[in-house]
């Protein structure tokens, strides 16, 4: 994709993070769950949900790149199961109107 920067997040998830169906306001998102239940996604509202396998890399188009055709996804509910998840997320840069703020955040850490 010829990206010069990405935002990286490696996170231990111990609750129901992002449990609602949504599409992210990013150009592209790479997501991989290394431990625990992996991300669920649907192609169209009303479709049967699918789940990435643990350790599988998903590359999702976000609203910036795909508009209304962005991938709709959510995190699996895990509250009360005793399970936690180890999640890696790489996001492409945001749209130009917020890119300066994003670059500043990347430099500040």
Q: Is residue 2 one of the residues assigned to a domain?
A: no
Q: pLDDT band at residue 78, thresholds of 50, 70 and 90? A: very high
Cα 71 to the chain's mean position, in Å? 10
Mean pLDDT of 54-62: 94
CATH of the domain at 62: 2.60.120
Q: Is residue 46 one of the residues assigned to a domain?
A: yes
Q: Return d(Cα 46, Cα 86) in angstroms, integer.
A: 28
Which residue range(s) make up the domain with 45? 7-108
**Is 42 in contact with 102 (CB distance < 8 Å)?**
no
Task: Evaluate if residue 81 carries a pLDDT over 90.
Answer: yes
Q: Return d(Cα 109, Cα 104) in angstroms, integer.
A: 9
Q: Is residue 75 one of the residues assigned to a domain?
A: yes
Could you read off the pLDDT of 5-55 as tens digits, one per residue?
788 999 999 999 888 899 888 889 999 999 999 999 998 778 899 999 999
Cα angle, residue 55 at apex, residues 89 and 75 outer, rounded to 5°: 55
Q: How many domains does the chain have?
A: 1
């Amino acid at each position: 994709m010829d990206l010069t920067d990405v935002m990286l997040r490696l996170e231990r998830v111990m609750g129901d993070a992002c449990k609602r169906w949504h599409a992210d306001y990013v150009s592209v998102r790479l997501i991989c769950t290394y431990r625990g239940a992996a991300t669920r996604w649907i192609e169209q509202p009303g479709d049967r949900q699918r789940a990435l396998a643990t350790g599988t890399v998903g590359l999702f188009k976000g609203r910036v790149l795909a508009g209304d055709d962005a991938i709709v996804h959510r995190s699996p509910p895990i509250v009360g199961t005793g399970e936690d998840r180890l999640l890696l997320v790489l996001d492409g840069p945001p749209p130009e109107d917020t890119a300066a703020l994003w670059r500043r955040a990347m430099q500040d850490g």
